[in-house]
C-alpha cells in the first residue's frame, strides 16, 4: 500500500502540472485549465478502475482531487500561467512532469491489476491505460493529436514499465525501494527517448 500511494500521489501531482501547462498552452479559461489538469491527473485512473471493476479511487478518496487543486493553486501563485506559451510542450518542465506521471501511473496500473488477479497481458494493458489514458482524454478535450502517438516511445515505455513490474512481482521485488528503482529507470528511459528522438519503426503503405 505504501508503494501504491507513493506512485499514485507523485503521478497525480506531476500530471496536474502537466495538464495545467497544456491547458495554458491551448489558451483555455480557468475551467478548461482545471479540466485539462483533472483529466491528465485522474483520467487514467478512472479507466483503470472501470477495467478492474472497482469504485473510482479518485471519487472515494479526497486526496487525489485535493492534490490537483493544490497544484493548480501553486502553479497560479508561481505565475506559470504568465509564462511564454509557444513551444511549451518542448520545455523541460513539461517533458519532465509528463515523464514522471506516465511512469508513476503505469506502475500504479500494474500494482492494481495484480491485486485483481490479471495476467501479464492485463497488467501491461492496464499499466498502459493508467499511464496514458488521462493524456488521451485531455488531448481529445483540447482537440489535439494524442501526445503518446507523436513522441518518443511514450506508450511503449508505459507498457514496458508494466511488463517489468510484472516480472518484479514474480521475483518478489515489490518493496518501495524496488518501486523507486523502476521509477527512476522509467523516467530516465522516457527522457532519453524524447531527447534522442527514439521512435518505433513506421509502417509505410505502398501502392
How would residue 18 be classed by pLDDT, with cut points 50, 70 and 90?
confident
State residue 5's pLDDT score. 76
pLDDT of residue 55: 94
Q: What percent of the chain has pLDDT over 90?
A: 56
Averaged confidence pLDDT in the chain? 88
DSSP code at position 204:
P
Give the confidence band of 116 by pLDDT, cuts at 50, 70, 90.
very high
pLDDT score recorded for residue 87: 63
Contacts of 176-182 with CB under 8 Å at 24 or more apart are: 176/2, 176/3, 176/6, 179/3, 179/6, 179/7, 179/107, 180/6, 182/103, 182/107
Q: Is the pLDDT of residue 158 over 80?
A: yes
Q: Is residue 207 very low, low, confident or very high in pLDDT (cuts 50, 70, 90)?
A: low
C-alpha distance from residue 192 to each of 43, 110, 185 (Å)? 26, 23, 11
Residues 176-185 have a mean pLDDT of: 93
DSSP-derived secondary structure for 8-76: HHHHHHHHHHHHHHHHHHTT--HHHHHHHHHHHHHHHHHHHHHHHT---HHHH-SHHHHHHHHHHHHHH
- Mean pLDDT of the region 16-30: 88
Three cell numbers at 22? 497544456
pLDDT of the residue at 26:
85
The predicted pLDDT at position 188 comes to 95
pTM (global) more than 0.85: yes
pLDDT value, residue 22: 86
pLDDT one-digit tens code per residue, 121-147: 999 999 999 999 998 999 888 888 777
pLDDT at 1: 58
* Residue 152 half-sphere exposure toward CB, CA atoms < 13 A: 17
Give residue 3's pLDDT band: very low, low, confident or very high (50, 70, 90). Answer: low
Amino acid at each position: 500500500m505504501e508503494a501504491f500511494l507513493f506512485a499514485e500521489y507523485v503521478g497525480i501531482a506531476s500530471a496536474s502540472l502537466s495538464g495545467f501547462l497544456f491547458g495554458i498552452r491551448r489558451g483555455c479559461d480557468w475551467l478548461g485549465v482545471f479540466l485539462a489538469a483533472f483529466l491528465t491527473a485522474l483520467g487514467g485512473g478512472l479507466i483503470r478502475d472501470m477495467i478492474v471493476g472497482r469504485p473510482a479511487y479518485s471519487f472515494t478518496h479526497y486526496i487525489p482531487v485535493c492534490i490537483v487543486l493544490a497544484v493548480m493553486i501553486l502553479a497560479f501563485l508561481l505565475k506559470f500561467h504568465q509564462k511564454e506559451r509557444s513551444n511549451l510542450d518542448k520545455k523541460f518542465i513539461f517533458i519532465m512532469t509528463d515523464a514522471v506521471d506516465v511512469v508513476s501511473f503505469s506502475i500504479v496500473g500494474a500494482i492494481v491489476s495484480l491485486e485483481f488477479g490479471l495476467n501479464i497481458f492485463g497488467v501491461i494493458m492496464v499499466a498502459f491505460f493508467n499511464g496514458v489514458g488521462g493524456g488521451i482524454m485531455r488531448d481529445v478535450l483540447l482537440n489535439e493529436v494524442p501526445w503518446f502517438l507523436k513522441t518518443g516511445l511514450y506508450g511503449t515505455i508505459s507498457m514496458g514499465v508494466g511488463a517489468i513490474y510484472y516480472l518484479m512481482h514474480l521475483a518478489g521485488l515489490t518493496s518501495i525501494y524496488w518501486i523507486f528503482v523502476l521509477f527512476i529507470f522509467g523516467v530516465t528511459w522516457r527522457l532519453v527517448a524524447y531527447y534522442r528522438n527514439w521512435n518505433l519503426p513506421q509502417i509505410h503503405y505502398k501502392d
